[in-house]
Every structure is written in C-alpha cells, then in structure tokens.
C-alpha cells in the first residue's frame, strides 16, 4: 500500500537510457513557447529543456510536465522513466516545481504543528470536514514526537462557496489558529471572523497542484504523497526506510 510517489519511482515504462542534454536552441524554444501560448493561453511556461530523445523537449507548465516535438506538431503527456537508476524523471521535475512553490509560502499562510527542531516537514492541504483529515490530525502528536512538523494549508474540497470554506476562513482568522483548527476538526463551534486570510488563494494553489481530494500531503522536497497514510508509513518514508 505504499504511496503513489513510490509507485511513480519504480513503475517500468522503458528499457533505454541516454544522458540528458542541457542546451536548447533559442529558435526551438521560441517556437514552442509561441505554440503553447496559442494552445494553453495564460499558462506559464516555467522551463523548456531537451530530453534524452532527439527533437523531443520537456516542458514544465507550473507543476505539469509534458513533452513536445521541436516542430510543435506532437505533444505527449505522460511520465518518462530512467530505467538505469529506476527514477521517474517527470515526477522529479514536478517535485522541483512544487518545492519552489512551497518554499515561497510564509508562516502567515500555513498553520504549523511542529516540534522545536523538526527533522522533516510535510505540507498538508486539509478540509475541516474530511474524515481522513481528522484522522491525520489525531496523528500529529506522534509525528511531532518523531521529528516531523506539519504545515496545514486550506483546501475546502467543495469550493469556496461552502460551509467548510467559511469555517476555515474563521480558523485562519482566529487568534489561536492551532486551537481553532483542532476545534473545527472536532465539530466545535468556531467564532465567525473575517480578515485578510489566504484560504481562497490556497484553494487555487491546491487546484494548480492537481489536488482532487484531502488530505493532500507533500514533503518539503515537493514529493507528493497525496492521500492519508499511517504514521508508521509516513515516518518510514521520510526517514528513507521504504
């Protein structure tokens, strides 16, 4: 039952290995950007780089990875794996992009439950009404005891026009956000408050990261675990004992 990330790392798709080339022709880069601007207007092209295959380029759109031919005729959406080292190259790039996003967050954005000197951090997109989110929250003391800090971000699954979103806005506006989040996950009434809160922005961020359910878990290195996992599985994964 180990997480999707482990599945990503070890699934077999290819038997070839060719070293990556690290340069791209400026004309090709411009052509690809112009094509994508027409196909997916408004999407930011984070990076374009060659793949091990001739005239096939890896494109990072936010945290999404796709592959495109140099003439722009063919686009492939799928994962590329390096069979020599058993790594999912596409997922590695998604992790890098997610890490950059998570690193840009401030402590005003998340609600943190951490030991004094955490060895590892996880970012959890949560919904106060989600049963597995509540189960994970009950695991937090065990995670903290094992050196793992938890940083919560808001993701009301039903969207912003829901009771859950309004409760989460009150939580993020509370004087004691940790206690308010714990109370909300135990069906205790939260005083309705309004402030300049990040709930809507975090909901959109979650959508950008491809979240479809909660809890959605990411390591501080951008690796996606997504669903609920037991404390023992999570501890083993973060400590490299999987």
Catalytically annotated residues: 127, 130, 133, 157
Tokens of 90: 């596409």
Sequence-distant (6+) residues with CB within 8 A of 216 are 124, 125, 155, 206, 209, 224, 226, 227
Q: If we measure between CA atoms, which residue out of 55, 60, 53, 50 comes closest to residue 21?
A: 50
Q: Contact at 8 Å (CB) between 61 and 68?
A: no
Q: Contact at 8 Å (CB) between 61 and 69?
A: no
Give the integer Cα–Cα distance in Å for 77 and 222: 20
**Residue-wise burial string across 18-47, b where 16 or more C-beta atoms lie within 10 A, e elsewhere:** eeeeeebeeebbeebeebbeeeeeeeeebe
Give the integer Cα–Cα distance in Å for 53 and 217: 33
Q: If we measure between CA atoms, which residue out of 142, 147, 131, 120 comes closest to residue 225?
A: 120
């Amino acid at each position: 039952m180990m997480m999707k990330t482990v599945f990503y790392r070890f699934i077999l798709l290819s038997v070839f290995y060719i070293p990556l080339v690290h340069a791209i022709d400026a004309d090709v880069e411009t052509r690809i950007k112009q094509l994508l601007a027409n196909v997916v207007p408004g999407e930011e092209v984070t990076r374009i780089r060659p793949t091990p295959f001739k005239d096939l380029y890896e494109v990072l759109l936010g945290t999404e990875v796709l592959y495109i031919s140099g003439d722009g005729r063919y686009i492939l959406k799928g994962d590329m794996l390096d069979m020599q080292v058993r790594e999912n190259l596409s997922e590695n790039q998604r992790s890098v992009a997610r890490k950059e996003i998570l690193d840009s967050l401030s402590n005003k954005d998340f609600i943190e439950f951490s030991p004094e000197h955490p060895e590892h951090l996880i970012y959890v997109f949560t919904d106060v009404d989600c049963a597995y989110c509540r189960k994970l929250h009950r695991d937090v003391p065990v995670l903290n005891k094992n050196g793992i800090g938890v940083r919560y971000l808001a993701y009301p699954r039903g969207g912003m026009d829901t009771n859950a979103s309004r409760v989460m806005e009150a939580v993020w506006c509370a004087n004691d956000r940790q206690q308010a989040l714990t109370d909300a996950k135990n069906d205790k009434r939260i005083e309705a408050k309004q402030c300049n809160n990040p709930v809507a922005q975090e909901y959109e961020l979650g959508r950008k990261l491809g979240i479809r359910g909660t809890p959605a878990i990411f390591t501080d290195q951008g690796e996606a675990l997504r669903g609920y996992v037991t404390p023992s599985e999570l501890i083993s994964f973060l400590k490299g004992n999987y």
